[in-house]
């Protein structure tokens, strides 16, 4: 059973920032998708440098897009797009443009969107393009779009996203799923109520979903995660999982 509830954050939360000290792309391991996938060139391949030779490949009529959900909110310093190193890839990345958003524009009519820039008309094999977005709002989604007449392909060899974590400065709505428990939490802690567990999730820049139990041992009754739920959860009668809605 799934219902839509509001976990009230009872304290004033100011913006916090955590440095990306290791320099790893904050898109690694996050949820990527694209309009339509050509053959085996899935969206997730673009965020793994190991597949940069061929990358991801999407196609659509008049427009094709690729998007990553960062599963958290960030201030983005730069986005680096790298063309593939094959005979057709650079052709399918030219004139693509980059945007950042606080919400999924496919689902939310009130998403804030910031244009970051456009790939030029001529692209070389394995060529890199750096975009700085200077958005004034916390970013969760990054989208790359390419438009043309007829069927248009979008090929991304690799996308590297650099930034620091930012906490949302307002309440968060969650979809409540009864009798589900996160199995691979990124952080296990103690909370008196589900609302307090929600506050911990809200303060943690990488947390989107969490599970809470009134009857679990006190020191481990609040589980935070940034991975996809419910794929990352199991049936547990005394637990409730809260998944942050895309349209906040």
pTM of the model: 0.71
| Structure-model confidence comparison of residues 68 and 209, the more confident one | 68
Span of 19-28, 39-48, 134-143, 156-165 with lowest mean pLDDT: 19-28
Listing from the earlier edge strand, what are the strands of the sheet with 172-182? 2-7, 172-182, 233-244, 209-212, 222-225, 187-189
Structure tokens at 70: 């960062």
Question: Which pLDDT does position 7 carry in this prediction?
Answer: 40
| Structure-model confidence comparison of residues 8 and 111, the more confident one | 111
Question: Which pLDDT does position 89 carry in this prediction?
Answer: 84
Whether residue 15 is predicted with pLDDT greater than 60 in this model: the reply is no
Share of residues in the chain with pLDDT > 70 (%): 85
Question: Which pLDDT does position 103 carry in this prediction?
Answer: 86
Whether residue 131 is predicted with pLDDT greater than 70 in this model: the reply is yes
Question: Which pLDDT does position 247 carry in this prediction?
Answer: 67
Q: Angle 40-154-65 (CA atoms, 0-180°, nearest 5)?
A: 100
User: What values do phi and psi take at 195, rounded to 5?
Assistant: -65, -40
| Structure-model confidence comparison of residues 71 and 117, the more confident one | 117
User: What confidence tier does 12 reach under pLDDT thresholds 50, 70, 90?
Assistant: very low
> Which residues, including other chains, have CB under 8 Å from residue 76's CB and lie 6 or more apart?
100, 133, 135, 139, 142, 161, 162, 163
Question: Which pLDDT does position 171 carry in this prediction?
Answer: 54
How does pLDDT run across 49-93, given as a tens digit for each residue? 999 999 999 999 999 999 999 888 899 999 999 999 998 888 999
Whole-number mean pLDDT of the chain? 85
Q: Is domain 31-165 given the CATH code 3.60.20.30 in the classification?
A: no
In the chain, where the domains are located:
2-14+168-244, 31-165
Question: Which pLDDT does position 141 carry in this prediction?
Answer: 94
Query: Is the backbone of residue 214 left (phi > 0), alpha (psi -120 to 50) or beta?
Result: alpha
Report how far residue 96's alpha carbon sits from residue 76's, in angstroms, rounded to the nearest whole number: 19
Question: Which pLDDT does position 83 carry in this prediction?
Answer: 97
Report how far residue 180's alpha carbon sits from residue 2's, in angstroms, rounded to the nearest whole number: 10
Q: In CATH, what number does 2-14+168-244 get?
A: 3.50.4.10
| Structure-model confidence comparison of residues 21 and 64, the more confident one | 64
Report how far residue 222's alpha carbon sits from residue 248's, in angstroms, rounded to the nearest whole number: 22
Centroid of chain to Cα 175:
17
Report how far residue 139's alpha carbon sits from residue 147's, in angstroms, rounded to the nearest whole number: 23
Whether residue 20 is predicted with pLDDT greater than 70 in this model: the reply is no
User: What values do phi and psi take at 127, rounded to 5?
Assistant: -75, 145
Nearest CA-CA partner of 90 in 126, 57, 43 = 126
């Amino acid at each position: 059973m799934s219902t839509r509830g509001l976990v009230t954050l009872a304290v004033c939360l100011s913006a916090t920032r955590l440095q990306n000290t290791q320099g790893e792309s904050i898109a690694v391991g996050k949820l990527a998708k694209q309009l339509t996938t050509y053959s085996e060139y899935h969206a997730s391949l673009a965020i793994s440098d190991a597949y940069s030779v061929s990358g991801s490949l999407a196609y659509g009529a008049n427009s094709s897009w690729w998007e990553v959900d960062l599963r958290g909110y960030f201030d983005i310093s730069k986005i680096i797009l790298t063309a593939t190193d094959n005979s057709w890839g650079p052709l399918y990345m030219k004139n693509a443009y980059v945007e950042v958003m606080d919400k999924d524009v496919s689902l939310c009519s009130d998403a804030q969107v910031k244009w970051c820039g456009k790939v030029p008309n001529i692209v070389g094999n394995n060529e890199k393009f750096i975009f700085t977005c200077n958005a004034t709002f916390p970013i969760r989604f990054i989208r790359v779009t390419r438009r043309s007449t007829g069927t248009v392909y979008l090929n991304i060899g690799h996308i590297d996203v650099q930034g620091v974590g930012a906490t949302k400065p307002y309440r968060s709505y969650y979809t409540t799923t009864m009798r589900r428990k996160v199995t691979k939490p990124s952080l296990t802690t103690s909370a008196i109520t589900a609302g307090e567990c929600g506050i911990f999730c809200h303060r943690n820049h990488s947390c989107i979903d969490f599970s809470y139990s009134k009857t679990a041992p006190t020191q481990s009754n609040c589980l935070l995660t940034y991975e996809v739920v419910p794929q990352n959860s199991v049936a547990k009668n005394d637990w409730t999982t809260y998944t942050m809605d895309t349209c906040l």
